[in-house]
């Protein structure tokens, strides 16, 4: 994963739990290079998993809940860095519907080497978007949090749920205007 995903994670942890917690989870996650990440660098996805697990143990919070919270937080940070990405989209469904063919294409230019998921649109109406999420990294809860952050950004609540499809690696998201 890109260094920005780590540095923003440390910012969130520091803001919510204090700097000592950042130290604690870096020590407990037993990372190489002592938790030093460069924004443009690329690091193994497993290191992010170790950090989230360490935070979960230190705060008695489940890993899915932490990934959701982090996704929500990161959406606001990313859109503040790249506000143009939201131009021309008037609601969160319209935004999320463009992640595969626009947002993440731009991300690849900004962050060479980014490891991104695939989203396949199953159906899209004014009220509901159904998307299949495919990724070896299985970060559907992080995606869920990014979508929640998007809903907050547009001040348009969403009902989001997902299910694991049988005989498939895909996770199907149902995202509806609330
Ligand atoms: C609601 C909208 C979005 C959704 C649902 C979404 C979903 C995801 C997911 C699930 C991942 C984790 C990687 C994986 O699953 O394989 C990811 C990674 C990432 N996304 Fe998005 N994303 C959204 C919007 C954005 C925006 C607005 C940006 C703006 C820059 C962005 C930049 C990134 C970056 C930098 C990564 C990390 C890639 C890496 O570290 O290699 N995403 N996204």
Q: What is the pLDDT of residues 88-105, one digit of tens each?
A: 999 999 999 999 999 999
Distances (CA, A) of 13 to 50, 120, 126, 131: 14, 32, 36, 30
Q: Give nearest CA residue, ligand 1 atom 14.
A: 117
CA 75/CA 148 separation, integer angstroms: 8
Name the pLDDT band for 45 (thresholds 50, 70, 90): very high
CA of 9 to the centre of ligand 1 (A): 14
Kindly report the number of other CB atoms within 10 A of residue 62's CB atom. Answer: 11
CB 173 within 8 A of CB 131: yes
State whether the beta carbon of 150 lies less than 6 angstroms from ligand 1: yes
pLDDT value of position 113: 92
Domain segments of the chain as ranges: 3-61, 91-177
116-154, pLDDT tens digit by residue?
999 999 999 999 999 999 999 999 999 999 999 999 999
Pocket test for ligand 1, best of 2, 88, 107, 149 (most atoms within 8 A of CB): 107
State whether the beta carbon of 158 lies less than 6 angstroms from ligand 1: no
CA 116/CA 36 separation, integer angstroms: 22
CA of 94 to the centre of ligand 1 (A): 16
State whether the beta carbon of 135 lies less than 6 angstroms from ligand 1: yes
State whether the beta carbon of 146 lies less than 6 angstroms from ligand 1: yes
Name the pLDDT band for 36 (thresholds 50, 70, 90): confident
Q: Give nearest CA residue, ligand 1 atom 1.
A: 147
Q: Write down the mean pLDDT value for the chain.
A: 96
CB 143 within 8 A of CB 71: yes
Predicted confidence (pLDDT) at residue 35 exceeds the cutoff of 90: no
E strands within the chain?
118-124, 128-134, 158-164, 171-177
CA 115/CA 102 separation, integer angstroms: 15
CA 170/CA 173 separation, integer angstroms: 10
What is the model's pTM? Answer: 0.97
CA 151/CA 7 separation, integer angstroms: 24
CA 115/CA 123 separation, integer angstroms: 25
Kindly report the number of other CB atoms within 10 A of residue 6's CB atom. Answer: 21
Q: Give nearest CA residue, ligand 1 atom 13.
A: 116
State the fold for domain 91-177: H-NOX domain (3.90.1520)
CA 69/CA 51 separation, integer angstroms: 14
* Nearest-atom index, ligand 1, CA of 117: 16
């Amino acid at each position: 994963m890109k260094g920005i995903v780590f540095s923003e994670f440390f910012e969130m942890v520091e803001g919510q739990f204090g700097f000592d917690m950042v130290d604690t989870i870096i020590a407990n996650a037993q990372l190489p290079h002592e938790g030093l990440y460069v924004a443009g660098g690329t690091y193994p996805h497993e290191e992010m998993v170790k950090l989230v697990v360490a935070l979960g143990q230190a705060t008695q919070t489940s890993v899915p809940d932490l990934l959701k919270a982090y996704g929500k937080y990161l959406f606001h940070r990313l859109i503040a860095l790249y506000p143009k990405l939201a131009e021309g989209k008037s609601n969160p469904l319209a935004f999320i519907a463009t992640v595969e063919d626009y947002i993440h294409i731009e991300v690849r230019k900004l962050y060479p080497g980014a490891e991104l998921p695939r989203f396949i649109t199953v159906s899209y109406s004014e009220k509901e978007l159904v998307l299949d999420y495919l990724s070896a990294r299985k970060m559907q809860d992080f995606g869920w949090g990014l979508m929640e952050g998007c809903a907050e950004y547009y001040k348009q609540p969403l009902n989001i749920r997902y299910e694991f499809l049988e005989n498939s690696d895909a996770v199907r998201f149902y995202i509806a205007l609330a």
